[in-house]
Structure 1
Amino acid sequence: MYDETCIFCREIANKGNAAFVYRGVNILAFMDNAPIEEGHVLVIPRNHYENIYDIDKDIYLELQLAVKRISIAVKNVLKTDGLNIGQNNGRVANQVVMHYHVHIIPRYYRKKINWERENANIDDLEIIAAKIRAGIKEVEL
C-alpha cells in the first residue's frame, strides 16, 4: 500500500529522505523536520494508512511498541522531564500529513514549548537521531 501523493510514502518510506532513529520491516521512525522541540520524533507504518480508522490492527500494535521503545530512549538520551505523545485523525483534528503517524515530543520543566514550527537542518537532526538510535539499543521491553 503506497500513495504517490503522500509525502511520507514518497519521501520517507520510498526515498529514505529523513534522519532515521528506527527502521523496521513495517515501522519507521525519524526526526520531524520542523520540530516542536529538539528530539521530536515521528513514528509511521511503512505502508500507507490514512488514520487510526484505517490502520491494520497488527501494524498498529507493532507501531505502539516501537513508540514505547523510542519514547524510553528519547527520555534517557535527552534527559527529558516528560513527553507528549500525540496522534491526530483528520484535518479538523490538525492532521496535516494524511499518513498515520505518532508524534513523540520531549518536554522540559525549564522550557515552554514554542508551537511555531521551523524547518531544521538535516545535519543537526542526524546528530540527535544518532544519539536516539544508540539509546534504542539499550531499551528492553
Structure 2
Amino acid sequence: MQALNQIAIIEDDADIRSLLELSLTTLGGYTITAYSLASIAIKHLEGNTLPQMIVLDVMMPELSGPEFIPLLRALPHGCAVCIVMLTAKASTEELAPLIAAGANFVASKPFDPMLLPELLNHFWSEFHAGV
C-alpha cells in the first residue's frame, strides 16, 4: 500500500477549509489542494492527476458532495480515490445515504484538528484493506 500524501479538500466554508489545510499540512505533512466548490474541483480534476483522497463537504452550493461523487467516479482512475465526507449530521439514518452515494467514509463536524491526520490515515488503511 502506498503511503497517503495527496489530499484534496472540497469545502465551501473558508474557515473550515483553512482549518483542514492547516491540520493536514502541519500535523499530517500532506500535500493539499483545496477547492471552495465541488463544481470547481471537478473541472480541475478532469484531465489532471487525481489525489489519493478527497475530504468532501456534503452540502455546498452548485454541486453537493453526493452529486460530485458519480462525476469523480466516472473519471479515469476515479474509483481509486478514497472519499471521506464531512457532515454535521451524525445519525445512522443520515449517514447511510452518504455511503450509498459512494463515500468510502464519513467523518463528523466539528472534528478535532489534532486527531484528523490520524483519522484519515486510519481511513486510508481501511480503504486499502477493503480493496
TM-score scaled by structure 2? Answer: 0.32
Q: Rg larger in 1 or in 2?
A: 1
* Higher RCO, Cα 8 Å, sep 6+: 1
- TM-score (ref. length: structure 1): 0.31
Q: Which has the higher helix share?
A: 2
